[in-house]
Amino acid sequence: MPKSTTCGTEGYTPPFLWDDGVLDAGRTWCAGADRFALAILLVEFLVLDKGAPLAAEGGMFRQDELCARSGHAVDLAREGLKRDYPAALPLFEAAIGSNDFADCPSPEDWNQFFDTIPEAPARPPRLTQLETIAPDFFERLLKKRRPAAPIWPAPRLDEMPMDELHLPTRSGQAV
């Protein structure tokens, strides 16, 4: 285990972790910490089209839009979900409006949604149906990329109060 790690990627970090422009890395060490990023990633899978503009880290959303809970990409996502996947819109709204990881849709919530999608024509394409990406695609994309956002270190595990860490054991009980 590394001594420290980052607490989020730009465009996938929830707004409730920010306080006056400062990211609170300590709040990312908890159960459900990836729920917000999961929602963002799944919405990108559902609404991004070929040729869509991408933000700093190659995703759909800019961090300032997520913090404001509105903006061009957020509006595009809402419109695309409303049009093509209306059952996913409440899940996206729950994530965008969340004030805690527990407020974000769970993986089970997303699985239930995906179980409702008919096979065709609204279901996203299977990987075997996608075009082959040209070898220089990522090179061209990286040349357009702006410098990476600063990395905010997460607290060291040995600095975390042990009563806040509830790690599951093989028996399923938290230690």
Comparison of pLDDT for 9 and 111, the residue scoring more: 111
pLDDT band at 1; cut points 50, 70, 90: very low
Task: State what percent of residues in the chain have pLDDT above 90.
Answer: 35
Q: For residue 36, give the nearest of 51, 14, 60 by alpha carbon.
A: 14
CB 17 within 8 A of CB 7: yes
H-only helix segments in the chain: 35-47, 63-68, 72-84, 89-96, 107-115, 137-144
pLDDT at 11 over 90: no
Mean pLDDT lowest among 19-28, 102-111, 154-163: 154-163
Q: What is the pLDDT of residue 32?
A: 85
**Tokens 């404001």 found at:** 68
* Each residue's pLDDT tens digit, 76-135: 999 999 999 999 999 999 999 999 999 999 999 999 998 888 764 556 666 677 777 777
Per domain, the residue ranges of the chain are 15-164
Q: If you average pLDDT over residues 62-73, what whole number do you get? A: 91
Positive or negative CA dihedral for 44, 48, 50, 52? Answer: negative
Q: What mean pLDDT value characterizes the chain?
A: 79
Comparison of pLDDT for 159 and 105, the residue scoring more: 105
DSSP state of 18: E
Q: What is the pLDDT of residue 83?
A: 93
Task: State what percent of residues in the chain have pLDDT above 70.
Answer: 71
Q: What is the pLDDT of residue 2?
A: 46
